[in-house]
């Protein structure tokens, strides 16, 4: 049995909404801080992972970034790398303040864009006990090259218009998050629309973000921080990943001092559902039990 509570914490003057899962135990449990990827919210299948972890005796704090989901922040759907990294720090600080968890055994779990964020965060915080980085975004150039030159050019033009407009108080310009091949979207590989729909079913998550983000993605390289991470890291890498190419991820993963690498013949979105989900969550639980065992 476990207990799930809606909680909130402050980050950058705004409210972040989160689900706190506490196992029914007399002991203070290790706590896993969790968040999603590009444009994602905690309602997009993160509960499935958290429920499996809490069944093994781990507490989980699963949060939405500012400007997304049930968290505060205007404009909505603003994807800002610096703010999201601040949200991770705020979530960690909040988790460490909880009386029902063991703050000395704090684990980071991130997926996709969040999988990159946990690497950058763990490289700065030596108090992290372990990290799970699932199908992670590690290399801005590698991910940018998954789009055609024409799409990249159109995205850049829209992003520049959005950023200039923001300086003058204009309404944000949005870009589709997951689109069909050839369309103007941040992700438009053949498997993207179906995969994104599979994890969005039953949610009200918009399929768009502010266009200005396209100017930042190529300059973000969280994978370069891996040599500085002291905690053990599990990399869950999808060999056929069309969003976060596995070649770049594996190069960065190999430079991590204390790492375990699991590879899957699945796509970027497949590991959230079905048999692929069962495989990856089983490996993640095994890693947790080895590195941060429950009392």
Per DSSP, the chain holds a count of helices (H) and strands (E) of 8, 11
Count of other CB atoms within 10 angstroms of residue 104 = 12
30, β-bridge pairs? 102
According to the model, what pLDDT value does residue 137 have? 96
Residue 284 binned pLDDT confidence (cut-offs 50, 70, 90): very high
Tens-place pLDDT, residues 204-213: 889 999 999 9
* Residue 70 pLDDT exceeds 90: yes
- Asked whether 119 and 136 are in contact (CB, 8 A), the reply is yes
DSSP 219-253: G--GGGGGGG--S-EEEEEETT-SSS-HHHHHHHH
State the average pLDDT over residues 266-289: 96
- The contacts of residue 24 (CB under 8 Å, 6+ apart) are 1, 2, 3
Tens-place pLDDT, residues 218-235: 999 999 999 999 999 999
Instruction: Indicate the Cα dihedral angle 269, 284, 274, 197, nearest 10°.
Output: -30
Which three-class secondary structure state does DSSP give residue 7? strand
**Global pTM exceeds 0.85:** yes
Residues 263, 237: Cα–Cα separation, whole Å: 5
Tens-place pLDDT, residues 184-196: 999 999 999 999 9
Tens-place pLDDT, residues 103-137: 999 999 999 999 999 999 999 999 999 999 999 99
As a whole number, the mean pLDDT across the chain is 96
- Asked whether 80 and 213 are in contact (CB, 8 A), the reply is yes
Of residues 93 and 1, more confidence is placed in 93
119, containing H or E segment: helix 113-124
The DSSP code for 218 is G
DSSP 38-86: TT--TTTTHHHHHHHHHHTT-EEEEEPPTTSTTS--SSTT---HHHHHH
Domains and CATH numbers, the chain: 2-140+220-291 (3.40.50.1820)
According to the model, what pLDDT value does residue 60 have? 98
* Residue 1 pLDDT exceeds 70: no
Residue 77 binned pLDDT confidence (cut-offs 50, 70, 90): very high
Tens-place pLDDT, residues 138-184: 999 999 999 999 999 999 999 999 999 999 999 999 999 999 999 99
């Amino acid at each position: 049995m476990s207990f799930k509570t809606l909680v909130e914490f402050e980050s950058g003057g705004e409210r972040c909404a989160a689900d706190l899962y506490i196992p029914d135990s007399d002991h203070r449990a290790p706590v896993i801080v969790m968040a999603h990827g590009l444009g994602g919210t905690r309602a997009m299948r993160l509960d499935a992972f958290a429920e499996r972890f809490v069944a093994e005796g781990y507490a989980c704090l699963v949060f939405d970034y500012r400007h997304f989901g049930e968290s505060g922040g205007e404009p909505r759907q603003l994807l800002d790398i610096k703010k999201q990294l601040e949200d991770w720090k705020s979530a960690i600080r909040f988790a460490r303040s909880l009386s029902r968890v063991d703050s000395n055994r704090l684990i980071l779990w991130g997926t996709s864009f969040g999988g990159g964020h946990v690497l950058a965060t763990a490289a700065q915080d030596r108090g992290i006990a372990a990290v799970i980085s699932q199908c992670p975004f590690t290399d801005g150039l590698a991910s940018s090259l998954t789009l055609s030159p024409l799409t990249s050019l159109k995205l850049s033009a829209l992003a520049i218009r959005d950023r200039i407009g923001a300086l003058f108080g204009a309404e944000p310009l949005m870009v589709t998050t997951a689109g069909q091949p050839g369309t103007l979207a941040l992700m438009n590989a053949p498997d993207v629309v179906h995969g994104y729909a599979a994890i969005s079913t039953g949610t009200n998550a918009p399929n768009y973000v502010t266009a200005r983000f396209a100017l930042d993605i190529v300059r973000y390289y969280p994978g370069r921080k891996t040599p500085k991470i002291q905690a053990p890291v599990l990399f869950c890498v999808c060999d056929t990943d069309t969003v976060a190419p596995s070649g770049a991820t594996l190069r960065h993963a190999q430079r991590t001092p204390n790492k375990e690498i699991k590879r899957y013949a699945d796509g970027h979105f497949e590991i959230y559902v079905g048999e692929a989900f069962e495989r990856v969550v089983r490996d993640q639980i095994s890693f947790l039990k080895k590195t941060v065992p429950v009392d």
